[in-house]
């Protein structure tokens, strides 16, 4: 029986690894520099060796064998983000971390790789950077395909676009990966569908474990609750009273401008450069806006005058309810916001597994 082994680098909390396990893969090794994210990964992947260290110091062959089925990960993306105007340039050291990704591909020679990053990676330096990266991967003996995908097309209740490159070794047969063949969901999952059974909370609540409000209803909620009988980590940032006052006047789909009209942004010296996603109240009948640093952007629950709880944000990212985050609340929130939605990753891994098993002489362990 063939084992479909995986290596996850720049792993963060492990969103891609959760998606890989859903697709039948077995992560053997993960590398993550941040101590809190590494602790979260380790807590949720007991069979994976987790290295919490600078990837530049890691020799992968000291920790795993050559030729895993797949290597995946996304180098730090701060330098590529279209929202980042201060350091979005070729001199940002984070923009060169992809060299470590290339080194791991070269050393391990996986059958497949999956490279992930923010949408801005594709347009960075007028597109030359992404072309260069893909060209270097091809030079290592891989046939590659790249595209931008929206998580909401694959069962995630969130509009979140990410850039991906998939590669397959040219000496392992003529397998053709096609992003256009990925199976999309027939209808998009909404915020209301995703959150309806989670507990009612108030500003500042810190409820570790409590009952769900309702029995599971709908495919998405069933999937999220498949291994969990209680709602865990219902943690809400405690905002000051003047912030809660702003929440109260903002309706679904509205943002900070509604509070400004009511004279409630008096602490702002200027709103000239305020992003449209600040103080955004989520709409229950649509997928969520991108869940990035949702505490700093003050994303508002669709019905309650408070910020999102950690569990709600994780639900909107498609982390299953049994997944537990480590570190202080601010670090937990950042881990959720940085992650690749597991169901988006699963959609890609599913096709990779299907293509490989269909072209393999041995049965796959899925």
Round to whole Å and give the CA distance between 238 and 262: 22
Give CA torsion, residues 257, 258, 263, 269, to 10 deg. Answer: -20
Question: How far apart are the C-alpha atoms of 321 and 172, rounded to whole Å?
Answer: 38
The residues with which 301 forms a beta bridge, in sequence order, are none
Q: What does the alpha-carbon distance between residue 32 and residue 355 come to, in Å, rounded to a whole number? A: 29
Ordered alpha helix ranges (H), the chain: 15-22, 35-44, 98-108, 120-123, 128-139, 191-195, 219-224, 241-249, 256-261, 310-317, 329-338, 342-358
Question: Catalytic annotation on 77?
Answer: yes
DSSP for 272-328 reads TT--TTTTPBPPTTSPBPP-SSTTTTT-B-SSSSSBPPHHHHHHHHT--TT----S-
- CA neighbor of 143 nearest in space, from 119, 166, 163: 166
Give the HSE-up count for residue 325: Cα atoms under 13 Å, Cβ half-sphere. 32
Residue 286 near residue 187 (C-beta atoms within 8 A): no
| Contact in structure between 114 and 23 (CB atoms under 8 Å) | no
CA dihedral 146, 152, 154, 156 (to 10 degrees): 120
- DSSP bridge partners of 142: 169
Per annotation, catalytic residue among 38, 55, 58, 77: 77
Query: Is the Cβ–Cβ distance between 343 and 287 less than 8 Å?
Result: no
| CB-based contact 117:338 (threshold 8 Å) | no
Q: Which residues have a catalytic role annotated?
A: 77
């Amino acid at each position: 029986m063939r084992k479909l082994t995986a290596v996850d680098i720049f792993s963060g909390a492990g969103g891609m690894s959760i998606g890989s396990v859903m697709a039948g893969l077995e992560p053997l090794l993960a590398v993550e520099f941040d101590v809190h994210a590494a602790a979260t990964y380790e807590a949720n992947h007991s069979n994976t060796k987790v290295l919490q260290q600078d990837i530049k110091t890691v020799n992968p062959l000291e920790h795993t064998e050559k030729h895993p089925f797949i290597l995946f990960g996304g180098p730090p993306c701060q330098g590529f983000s279209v929202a980042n105007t201060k350091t979005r340039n070729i001199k940002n050291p984070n923009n060169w971390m992809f060299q470590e990704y290339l080194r791991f591909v070269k050393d391990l020679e996986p059958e497949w790789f999956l490279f992930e990053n923010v949408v801005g990676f594709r347009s960075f330096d007028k597109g030359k950077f992404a072309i260069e990266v893909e060209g270097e991967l091809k030079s290592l003996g891989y046939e590659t395909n790249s595209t931008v995908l929206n998580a909401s097309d694959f069962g995630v209740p969130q509009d979140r676009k990410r850039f991906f490159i998939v590669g397959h070794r040219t000496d392992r047969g003529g397998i053709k990966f096609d992003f256009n063949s990925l199976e999309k969901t027939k209808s998009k999952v909404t915020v209301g569908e995703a959150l309806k059974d989670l507990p009612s909370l108030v500003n500042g609540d810190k409820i570790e474990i409590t009952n769900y409000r309702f029995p599971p209803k709908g495919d998405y909620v069933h999937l999220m609750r498949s291994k969990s009988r209680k709602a865990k980590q219902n943690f809400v940032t405690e905002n000051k009273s003047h912030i809660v006052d702003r929440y109260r006047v903002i309706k679904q789909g509205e943002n900070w401008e509604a509070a400004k009209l009511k004279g409630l942004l008096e602490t702002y010296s200027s709103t000239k450069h305020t992003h449209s996603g600040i103080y955004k109240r989520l709409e229950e009948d649509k997928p969520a806006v991108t869940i990035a640093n949702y505490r700093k952007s003050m994303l508002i629950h669709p019905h309650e005058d408070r910020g999102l709880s950690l569990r709600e944000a994780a639900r909107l990212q498609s982390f299953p309810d049994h997944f537990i985050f480590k570190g202080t609340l601010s670090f937990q929130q950042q881990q959720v916001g940085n992650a690749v939605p597991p169901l988006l990753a699963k959609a890609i891994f599913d096709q990779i597994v299907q293509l490989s098993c269909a072209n393999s002489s041995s049965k796959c362990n899925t």
